[in-house]
Amino acid sequence: MNKGYNISEIAEMFNITTNKIRFYEKKGLLTPIRQDDNQYRRFNEEDIVRLQSILTYRSIGISVDSIKNILKSNEKENYLTHFNNQWQLVNDEIHRLNTIRKSLEQVIDKIYEENDDFKVKEDLLEIVSESNKLNDIKNQWKDKWNFNSWARSYDKDVKRDIGELKIYKNYDLILQKVYDLVEALGRKDLKVLEIGVGTGNLAEKFLNGGYNIIGIDQSREMLSVAKEKYPMLKVRLGEFLKIPYDNKSFDVIISTYAFHHLNETEKYIAIEEIMRVLKDDGVIVMGDLMFESKASEEEVLKALPQSQVEEIKDEYYSYIDLLKAEFEKYNKKLQYYRIDKFNYIIEVL
């Protein structure tokens, strides 16, 4: 009868040091039986399975404290919390390193272009400084609207549309128009990304239409509600400034009522991110709060009471002429459709 394995046998089994096993025991992750006569550790089959789990979780960077919590609770939500946390950390690090790599490429090119009398110049330091600034902007975006707390009431609030501006009065029409524009492309083999998937109302149309769609959102509670409503919808944590996918991954990118949560600088960074993950012949369709230009905004604001002006200023409405100019840098053409005084749909081809 096997009375278990000693610490050296376990270490050899997993090709790790005995000190690592002792560390996990000290942290409360392992509780091997102690022999009565000599207090030597004995590890049974359950300990082996547990250690295998620990090593697997550590291999993807999950912290010891998080692993301890995971092993204590086998609840689905507990797993989601810790794995979503790690997903976000990994995505943040990938974006940070990619920005650094891009700046290093620029620095190296600058150095190669210099002559034999090369000296460190200010423009090299400026490249690195700009890289750091970009990472700071990406990491400093905050959800000042608290979408986590809004998730459970979002659908009802949209229908009630209690704000003075009534920005949601054509909500259903906008969602349908976005879907129809993609449907008009005449292809069902498209891989679609929705940024700011929210509670899944737009994504539902694409699911029902047979599209391969993934929805990302920075709010975990929004994602939870979306999954409850539409179990077949694939969702991930993500945002405009740090899209968690590789270059040229999607045929179509869609979004509604989300882009106005980015200020002007963040919008330009978001467009660069969108273009990064969009295939060369890809299409973008977004419905959101916009003005055709800053001049048209001034005309609209003149006719509004101060309370409504303040409501507009609380958001970051886009200017279509500026978006058009920005997308032209990527050889993309923008066309737009006015839905009402504040809502437009843009299609970028």
Residue 120 pLDDT greater than 70, yes or no = no
> pLDDT band at 126, cuts 50/70/90?
confident
Answer whether residue 27 is part of any domain: yes
Residue at a domain's end among 27, 52, 72 = 72
Residue 29 pLDDT greater than 90, yes or no = yes
Answer whether residue 270 is part of any domain: yes
Residue 1 pLDDT greater than 60, yes or no = no
Q: How far is CA 163 from CA 41, 54, 160, in A?
A: 66, 50, 9
Quick count: other Cβ atoms within 10 Å of Cβ 223? 25
Q: Would you state the pLDDT for residue 34?
A: 81
pLDDT tens digits along 40-83? 889 999 999 999 999 999 999 999 999 999 999 989 999 999 99
User: How many domains is the chain partitioned into structurally?
Assistant: 3
Q: Are residues 13 and 106 in the same domain?
A: no
CB-based burial, 323-340: b 16+ in 10 Å, e otherwise: bbebbeeeebebebeebe
pLDDT, average across residues 104-133:
81
Residue at a domain's end among 140, 167, 191 = 140
Answer whether residue 1 is part of any domain: no
Q: Would you state the pLDDT for residue 4?
A: 85
Q: Are residues 109 and 90 in the same domain?
A: yes
Q: Which two tokens stand for residue 309?
A: 């002006």
Q: Would you state the pLDDT for residue 119?
A: 65
Residue that is written with structure tokens 């330091």 in the block = 125
Q: Are residues 224 and 331 in the same domain?
A: yes
Answer whether residue 280 is part of any domain: yes
Q: How far is CA 124 from CA 105, 108, 255, in A?
A: 11, 9, 37
Answer whether residue 2 is part of any domain: no
Burial class (CB in 10 A: 0-12, 13-18, 19+), 232: exposed
Q: Would you state the pLDDT for residue 90?
A: 95
> pLDDT band at 37, cuts 50/70/90?
low
CA angle, 197 as apex, 194 and 199 as ends, to 5°? 150
CATH code (residue 252): 3.40.50.150
Answer whether residue 25 is part of any domain: yes
pLDDT tens digits along 180-227? 999 999 998 999 999 999 999 999 999 999 999 999 999 999 999 999
Specify the range with the lowest mean pLDDT, choosing from 106-120, 150-164, 282-296. 106-120
Please tell me the distance from the alpha carbon of residue 189 to that of residue 135, in angstroms, as a whole number. 35
Answer whether residue 84 is part of any domain: yes
Residue 333 pLDDT greater than 50, yes or no = yes
Q: 3-state DSSP call for residue 148? A: helix
Residue 304 pLDDT greater than 70, yes or no = yes
Q: Are residues 328 and 189 in the same domain?
A: yes
Residue 94 pLDDT greater than 90, yes or no = yes
Q: What percent of the chain has pLDDT over 70?
A: 96
Residue at a domain's end among 140, 164, 189 = 140
Please tell me the distance from the alpha carbon of residue 334 to that of residue 348, in angstroms, as a whole number. 4
Q: Are residues 217 and 306 in the same domain?
A: yes
Task: Determine the structural domain holding residue 123 and report its residue range.
Answer: 76-140
Q: Are residues 117 and 202 in the same domain?
A: no
Please tell me the distance from the alpha carbon of residue 140 to that of residue 306, in angstroms, as a whole number. 30
CB 320 within 8 A of CB 290: yes
Q: Are residues 222 and 261 in the same domain?
A: yes
Q: Which two tokens stand for residue 66?
A: 């998080």
CATH code (residue 63): 1.10.1660.10
Higher pLDDT, 3 or 305: 305
Q: Are residues 151 and 287 in the same domain?
A: yes
Half-sphere exposure of residue 336, counting CA atoms within 13 Å on the CB side? 24
Q: Are residues 224 and 334 in the same domain?
A: yes
Q: Are residues 52 and 83 in the same domain?
A: no
Q: Are residues 50 and 68 in the same domain?
A: yes
Q: Are residues 68 and 108 in the same domain?
A: no
